[in-house]
Structure 1
Amino acid sequence: MSAEHVTPSRQQYLDVRAQHPDAIVFFRMGDFYETFDDDAATVARELDLVLTSRPMGKENRVPMAGVPHHAAENYIARLIAKGYKIALCEQVSTQLVNGLMPREVVRVFTAGTVVEAGMLEAGRNNYLAAVVLDDGRAGLAYADITTGEFAAGQLPDLRALAGELARLAPVELLVAEEMAVDFAAVKTISRLPARRFDLGLARQTLLRHFGVTTLDAFGIEHKPLATRAAGAMLHYLQETQRGSVGQMQRLTTYTTDGYMALSEATRRNLELTESDTNGRDGTLLSILNKTVTAMGARLLRQRLTQPLLNRDAIDRRLDQVETLAGNARLRAELRAALKGLPDLERLINRVLGGRATPRDVEQIGLGLAAVGRVRGLITDVPALSAAEARLDPCAEVVATIGRALRDDPPANVNRSGFIRPGFSAELDGVVNTSAHAREWVAELEPRERERTGIPSLKVGFNKVFGYYLEVTHANTKLVPGDFIRKQTLTNAERYITPELKEYETLILNAEERILQIERRLFAELTQFVGGFGERVLATAAALAELDVAAALAEVAALNAYVRPVLTDGIGLHIENGRHPVVEGALGRGGVAGAPRGARFVPNDAHFDDASLIQIITGPNMSGKSTYLRQVALIALMAQIGSFVPASSATIGLVDRIFTRIGAHDELHAGRSTFMVEMVETAEILHHATHRSLLILDEIGRGTSTYDGMSLAWAIVEFLHNHPRLNPRTLFATHYHELIGLADLLPNVANYNVDVAEEGGEVTFLHRIVPGGADRSYGIHVAQLAGLPRDVILRANEILKDLERHAPTAAVEPSRLSTGQQIALFPESSPILDELAALDVNALTPLQAINKLYEWKQRYTSKEM
């Protein structure tokens, strides 16, 4: 469109659009937010709206789509959920400037910066994250502006970064525009100019915001990558929130050293918070989350994704759970007192961010008023004393809010009437004056009828003329001399009097004045309440802690969970362990294929020096994968401070849980299922330690039988022999030949899933017992799955033929001697050949040492 055809209003929009090229501009026009051009096409498509057009010049029309301003939040939320950003351009004055209504962007909505309750999930944090990469290391900052949480740290490598991003699950990630790393797990990635991540600029942004001269107090003065990420994030928040980031009052530096490391694959395989098949149902969180407050729900999710490594800290949590699990009355009363409490954490942060409504402030008062009851319940309960000490009723805040706000105040300050009478003498005076004027006007009609003798005289009001006296034409001769004609109608005349205009002025000015005073008083109230921000946040954190303890105690009592014993040793012993999610599903009748009324079959798990690596064999559908996962889940539950589904459990602290379960590809990254399997296995072998817990299910199944079996055998040997490893490992496999490893490696033991055969019928008993399995029962499982009978019969014929004619490697393990099994994987190597040919007697001590050094170098550089 040529410049001469651009109207002033169109130019105003284009100027705003140029300032926000990566956002959809919602342009306020009267009672609607309008979008234009490509934005309009996008909005119409994504929101299923009608795409219209608007004349622009003599011949041109501009695409347009709009939404009502009162319903905009819902539409904005839907667009944000699809990954878009929204720039909200408002009318900021009612006075025209150069013939135009002044407009400016007052807010930019992005996935990580929304604060509106309707756009948030109460039970989970809404994290915005920022990442900086430099020479293989990473700086990570994250914040939830709805709770004021703001943290930053430095991570040693991309693996650790991926694990943290999987834990946080940020809804939006900030990166430099040239960063090439793919963060596929994050839905919304916002690329910023590289200069935003400049160390000097980031540091100055942080110093100005916190009003300090050094970052030492925050622990990141000498962490440049953390500083760059945190500074860039804060700058982004200041831009999108137009400076309203008063809630960001704290910055903490953190490391991952105190928490169990959980890779993205482990979180996915154990289905901690999300399930590939059932969404948020069928997860560990769905079983444990009996919290009754939004604050508690968020804290439980955080704990579930960050198990502790400090035994004393874990025991303090377990003490709380044990106290409440053993006292049903206290637990019930505490949960009743907590139930329905408002989300103090998010509400106080709305106050600190300058976005609170009268209803928000009232909720803060109601929430704090309930703190006294909670404190009374847990007084003199030793395990809960630390939480009790942090509960602050903030009586002065409750009293002030009660005096200031009417009951059930509105959700905005657009209309007066939310300040309680008696709170402000100034306001009461204006209200009384207005009330007197209204009373005078209300009594005017009967008074004037009596004075004039006009029985049909009426007093009315409209927005154009204000108050008036209306007299029909038939009574015009009775109109007194002080009436001033204002408007002529078909059947009547309208008049005013000087006195009526005076009272009209009082009424109209009073309404505007009352709203001004109430808004000012409310601003003062929020400033007062905001001054107690730290105390309210500490109280909110204590309430959340109590809610989580009570919820875990409720789960323990309902499901017969027991307190685990945590030790610093390497042993791990579970008696009658159960899978919490599967057990819960069986109780609800929710496990496909399970017999009606089926109950979970518990199993033991014992790791000691003779059985650190356990080879688990047995048929599909017999419970191997459930068993593997339940051991990992019990260890994880213990280290978040939860009771566990078992009759007893002693857990040597686990530093990391690694899982290699299931088959999935990453075709978008050019990886087949087998490549994904090998990449995940490589990560485990490189990063596991002696204190780790490894869950490995069917390693090597994605390639040929001999390739897969060879890899599986070599992996077990490596885990056993490497000086850094020998971790507690559950290794489920269909390669029965691997049971021979127990005869070769002292820390390897065999277990299998028990099966009962009678009269040609096979029954899976779901019990893990010592020893190796001698059959896979794959054809039986296929029969259960419903394969045609002809296929099953033919498969049995083929199996018998293969077993009769196959070479030794394919013969069932029960028919092989240990020597035959070992022969499948000869231990010959160049180093062993050299050793056999070496004349030891001819070597000097120095030559022997040099030869040993040479072999070690070759082994570590080539054979690892």
Structure 2
Amino acid sequence: MVQTHYILDARLDLANTFWSLYYYCHHGNETVQRNSADTSTFSILVSLTFYPSSSSMSPPPPPPLPPAAAPAYTAPLPSVKRMSRSGGPSSRYAASNNEAQLVSPLSEYPIKRQRITQSPLSIHHDDDQQTSIQPQTTFTMQPFTHSSISMSDETGMVQVSGGSSIMALQWKSGKLGCSYYTQEYRELHVMDDVIERSPADFATQLIQEANPRIILLEYNADDILSLVQSIDGEIQVEKLQGKDFGYEHGRYSLISWFAQINDDNEAASDNTTRHHVYCEDPYDGRKRKTNLQLQCMINLDSVVSIGCAGALLTYIDKLQDYTNRPIGNAVDPHDLALRPVSLRSFSSKQYMHVSNIARRVLGIFEKDVHPNTHQKRNKESLSLFGLLNHTVTPIGQHLLQSWIQRPTLDLNVLEYRHTAISYFSTNDTVVLVKELRGHLKHIKNIPRMVSMIRENRATVHDWQQLLQFAYYSMRIQSSLSSMNPTKELQVTEKIKSAMGTDKLRRVGSAINDMIDFEQSRYEGRVVVKENVDEHLDKLRETYDNLEPVLLQVAQDISQRMPPELAATCNVVYFPQLGYFVAVTREYEQMFEYNLGLPPDFRLQFTTDANAYFKNDRTNELDESLGDNHGMIIDREIELVQYLTEELSTYFSDLLAMADACAELDCLLSMAHAARIHEYVRPEMTEENKIEIHQGRHPIQEMCVDVFIANDAYLVGGCGKASSDVSTTHIENSATTTQHHNENEAASIALLTGANYSGKSVYLRQVALLVYMAHVGSFVPASSAVIGLTDKIFTCVQTIETVSKLVSAFALDLQNLSQAARDATGRSLVIIDEFGNGTDAADGAGLLCATLEHFLSKGEQCPKVLAITHFHELLAHNIIPPTEHRIKLLTMEILSQSCTVQSSSSHSKQQADEVVFLYRVVPGSRACNSYGAWCASIAGIPAPIVQRALELSNLIDNNKQIRPIYSKERQAKLDAIEDIALKLLESQVTNDTLETIRQWVKDLDQIL
């Protein structure tokens, strides 16, 4: 048995392939690589085992080499690059038969070929020296791996072990996108775009969590490439073209792939319920259906991540096409299936997952048009970021935005932030905080300045800002040293350890001793101070004494000129041009005919006022003095470059100090917000519960004079906390006293109540307090215990947009679908009147089925807070009232009957006067939503409101609804009805006959 490894080019024709196998089947263990000129061609290692019919038989002579194939073996080129730690391609050379052969890195390609009983191709030699190729078993695909690859001598197959995934990363326009594929489960994971000023931290976190074997990047993604190379472990980097990462390409690839997956699933299942979107063009209907399904699973508005998914599918398709390339009938495409069969959204395990739609619903960020028309940037409107943002530095503002954009799930980080805010928000630190914020105001965008200085593009303003940073950093360290030693904080340790006072003083002294800032602002460039460099001082001395020298030369030259020209003669110096004799153009005719000018005068150029000449004396000045001003600038550039090199050893310390100052600015900002808004420190715990006492909506309370606080208590999973439920939180109310006890430990809270009663505010309030706690901020409440929450899902009434070809109800369904599919036991789901956009029965059924789905997940049941007006869920016991994991809540109101005057008539009518108390109390209110009363508050005309009340009462009592007529028509109908009743009641006799005739005449007149 002879084993040979071949790397076959995907573009080889079948004849050349068979010829290669035939020619090299008797040459022992060799590695042959066929490549074409196309560098994008994929190559792959194929393990083949050949069984000669007789070991003693000599091999037949090889056939002649095809002419077209010869060049392919003389200059092999690797078709796939493997990036080593140094950034270059990693290849190995092996000596065989006194000839260096290039072994492609694809020998480590994460695909395992295994011979089960026989080789994929068996070549048998018959007695007549004829060769027959017989297909045997097919290739088997094993998971991608992360560790090394070894070759087994006994089995003759590539053995692999470790993790398995391919990841695509892209950082574009300040957004980081990611998608990865796991072959073990054949799943494609797509992330929502993340706003990142620098991709370093978040991309590193994603790589560590996904543990990819291969990372796909754009050709110009040098920043991410350097990041990948700095990570320990072997990661193969594949670079694709930029068009492969395009959004439209990615969206089209996803739709095409997902449609094919749906077709395969429907074809494989006979009892699958199929839903179709009918259009004039069948393909358009299929595409629209697929698009709707995708929007329910991932965020198609994540432009960068969708592009990454498209690049990943493209890469997998190329690999699939190559590995499925049949050689005769030897390869079964189904055994080499690489394409993913399922799709999931994902987020980093270190941060809370909140979609962009959820952020808009909760009011995390809200941009508004700046009132100053000359400002191109928008200003932050009333939002959570606007409430917490009291930063005084640009780097602090950006860091706070990053914190709020990505709430953390690290308890240590949250504890650190809460402890710092707790210290800086006390009354004892008011003076210290004011002093620190005063120092921080002078710190600008230090990372940008360091980058400009490192690239030799810094202006005098950049150098001055760096000098101020060094000075005020020392002031900050001095202020923090006056803190109570028992209150040592982690942020103070960061500031003290980031860069010592001695280093800051050396940086500041070096800049201050080198640069003359006043003269630099005057000249518009970086000017070096005097007495710094002896050679520079001599050049400046020569330049300063240049005027008398030029005056003397001008006098000497004027003696050789006519008197009328001598009076206007000057010698001038132009930097980079040299020295010239300047004569006024008043005697221009003398210049043209060379009258009165010395013979060595040569006209160089003219202006509107003067003509400029060169002569022997100016040439002597050029040689003796030279371009003095240019030499001064060149020397100053050299000295500034020397200063940059001297400070380069401190750049990393300066950046660390800037990060520490930005972190201090964020903590002081949130401490200031906690002090002025009376926020409290939440207790963060690993218990899966939310316990809020007297919570307030942070944004809504800024818009009203008095805000009514409410409690909230939810427990994830099976509905009971692992520890005793707190019974100390009591809500003082005129009508109810609310205690938390073990019976109230529910996973789902179903809230009902009248319109305008504050249900939606309460819903968002709970989610916002959980969000703020995970940012590290204090929360608006009397007390709060917040368990770690990995995701927040919102299913609220969304604003329709023409950019999406779906209805408002379809958007609600997409949000609910994501929550039902991705919510875990530690997630929070808020549902606001789901089902209002469709038939009442369908909406109620969908809501009830969704709640039952959450309950069926057991320990993975999320914490759900839902609002509904479907009172039939409670009235008909569709939701079991004995279910301890569902808690019924309602909004408390006061209602009393009163007499109101109709605006359309002088009649008096009975109505209900409603007072909203905005309190959440246990129980359910399944009787009245007071929609008519809310309509009257909204300014709906009284006749419309009164008619609405009448129709509502008729419907509730199952009575016939009568239309409304005009007064004249109603009078006729009343008269007809009166006559009809009289006719029915009277008996026809001789005495009543005349009366009946009169009634008939009256009826005829009315009709």
Instruction: State the TM-score, normalizing by the size of structure 1.
Output: 0.62
Distance 1:348 1:297 in 2: 19
Match of 2:270?
A: none
Q: Secondary structure at the match of 1:419?
A: coil
Give the partner amino acid of 2:472: A
Q: Is the 8 A contact 1:485 1:493 kept in 2?
A: no
Residue 335 of structure 1 and its aligned partner are, at CA, apart by: 1.0
Q: Is the 8 A contact 2:689 2:787 kept in 1?
A: yes
Residues 622 and 362 of structure 1: is their aligned pair in 2 closer, same or farther, counting only changes over 3 Å? same
Residue 415 of structure 1 and its aligned partner are, at CA, apart by: 6.9
Residues 686 and 480 of structure 1: is their aligned pair in 2 closer, same or farther, counting only changes over 3 Å? closer
Asked if residue 785 in structure 1 is aligned to residue 938 in structure 2, the reply is: yes
Q: Is the 8 A contact 1:485 1:495 kept in 2?
A: yes
Q: Is the 8 A contact 2:459 2:526 kept in 1?
A: no
Q: Is the 8 A contact 2:892 2:921 kept in 1?
A: yes
Residue 558 of structure 1 and its aligned partner are, at CA, apart by: 0.5
1:371-400 CA-to-partner distances (Å, cap 9, x unmatched) read 011111112441243333344253332222
Query: Which of 384, 396, 405 does residue 296 from structure 1 map onto?
Result: 396
Match of 1:261?
A: 353
1:724-777 CA-to-partner distances (Å, cap 9, x unmatched) read 433322111111233443623112222111222233322222221222123111
Distance 1:351 1:142 in 2: 29
Match of 1:185?
A: 301
Q: Is the 8 A contact 2:365 2:380 kept in 1?
A: yes
Asked if residue 764 in structure 1 is aligned to residue 916 in structure 2, the reply is: yes
Match of 1:795?
A: 948
Q: Secondary structure at the match of 1:750?
A: strand
Distance 1:143 1:757 in 2: 49
Does 180-189 or 734-743 show the bigger shift?
A: 180-189
| 1:441-480 aligned within 5 A | 441=550, 456-461=567-572, 466-468=579-581, 470=583
Match of 1:578?
A: 696
Distance 1:196 1:422 in 2: 65
Residue 302 of structure 1 and its aligned partner are, at CA, apart by: 1.2
1:240-290 CA-to-partner distances (Å, cap 9, x unmatched) read xxxxxxxxxxxxxx9822222223332222121236999831221011111
| 1:91-490 aligned within 5 A | 126-127=174-175, 129=177, 135-138=186-189, 151-152=203-204, 153-154=206-207, 176-177=245-246, 178-179=249-250, 180=252, 181=254, 185=301, 256-274=348-366, 280-326=380-426, 327-352=429-454, 355-379=457-481, 380=485, 381-383=487-489, 384-392=491-499, 394-395=503-504, 396-407=506-517, 418-441=527-550, 456-461=567-572, 466-468=579-581, 470=583, 484-486=600-602
1:380-439 CA-to-partner distances (Å, cap 9, x unmatched) read 441243333344253332222222222168699x97652333333333332223333344
| 1:669-680 aligned within 5 A | 670-680=805-815
Residue 323 of structure 1 and its aligned partner are, at CA, apart by: 0.6
Give the partner amino acid of 2:890: N
Unaligned 5+ runs, structure 1: 1-110, 115-125, 158-172, 200-224, 226-253, 587-597, 808-864
Match of 1:604?
A: 711
Give the partner amino acid of 1:405: I
Does 550-559 or 676-685 show the bigger shift?
A: 676-685
Distance 2:760 2:930 in 1: 16
Residues 191 and 397 of structure 1: is their aligned pair in 2 closer, same or farther, counting only changes over 3 Å? same
Residues 481 and 579 of structure 1: is their aligned pair in 2 closer, same or farther, counting only changes over 3 Å? closer
Residue 539 of structure 1 and its aligned partner are, at CA, apart by: 0.7
Q: Is the 8 A contact 1:616 1:624 kept in 2?
A: yes
Distance 1:661 1:313 in 2: 31
Residue 314 of structure 1 and its aligned partner are, at CA, apart by: 0.9
Distance 1:188 1:720 in 2: 36
Unaligned 5+ runs, structure 2: 1-169, 212-241, 256-298, 317-338, 340-345, 370-377, 721-743, 899-911, 961-1007
Distance 2:703 2:472 in 1: 36
| 1:32-43 aligned within 5 A | none
Residue 576 of structure 1 and its aligned partner are, at CA, apart by: 1.7
Asked if residue 733 in structure 1 is aligned to residue 868 in structure 2, the reply is: yes
Q: Secondary structure at the match of 1:529?
A: helix
Give the partner amino acid of 1:388: I
Residue 719 of structure 1 and its aligned partner are, at CA, apart by: 2.1
Larger radius of gyration: 2
Give the partner amino acid of 1:555: A
Residue 599 of structure 1 and its aligned partner are, at CA, apart by: 2.0
Q: Secondary structure at the match of 1:786?
A: coil
Residues 696 and 672 of structure 1: is their aligned pair in 2 closer, same or farther, counting only changes over 3 Å? same
Q: Is the 8 A contact 2:300 2:306 kept in 1?
A: no
Does 640-649 or 709-718 show the bigger shift?
A: 709-718
Distance 2:353 2:307 in 1: 28
Residues 300 and 416 of structure 1: is their aligned pair in 2 closer, same or farther, counting only changes over 3 Å? closer
Q: Secondary structure at the match of 2:395?
A: helix
Give the partner amino acid of 2:777: S
Match of 2:887?
A: 749
How many positions carry a matched residue from both structures? Answer: 604
Distance 1:617 1:411 in 2: 67
**RMSD of Structure 2 on Structure 1 (CA):** 4.3
1:22-73 CA-to-partner distances (Å, cap 9, x unmatched) read xxxxxxxxxxxxxxxxxxxxxxxxxxxxxxxxxxxxxxxxxxxxxxxxxxxx
Identical positions, percent: 25
Distance 2:654 2:682 in 1: 34
Residue 129 of structure 1 and its aligned partner are, at CA, apart by: 4.4
Residues 174 and 185 of structure 1: is their aligned pair in 2 closer, same or farther, counting only changes over 3 Å? farther
Distance 1:313 1:532 in 2: 28
Distance 1:191 1:429 in 2: 60
1:314-354 CA-to-partner distances (Å, cap 9, x unmatched) read 11111100110012111111111111311112222333455
Q: Secondary structure at the match of 2:517?
A: coil
Distance 1:197 1:348 in 2: 39
1:766-803 CA-to-partner distances (Å, cap 9, x unmatched) read 22122212311122222222223222121111100011
Residues 144 and 564 of structure 1: is their aligned pair in 2 closer, same or farther, counting only changes over 3 Å? closer
Give the partner amino acid of 2:432: L
Residues 386 and 189 of structure 1: is their aligned pair in 2 closer, same or farther, counting only changes over 3 Å? same
Does 496-505 or 646-655 show the bigger shift?
A: 496-505
1:613-653 CA-to-partner distances (Å, cap 9, x unmatched) read 11111122221111111111111111221111112112222
Does 766-775 or 353-362 show the bigger shift?
A: 353-362
Give the partner amino acid of 1:377: S
Q: Is the 8 A contact 2:788 2:826 kept in 1?
A: yes
Match of 1:550?
A: 668
Query: Which of 687, 695, 699 does residue 830 from structure 2 map onto?
Result: 695
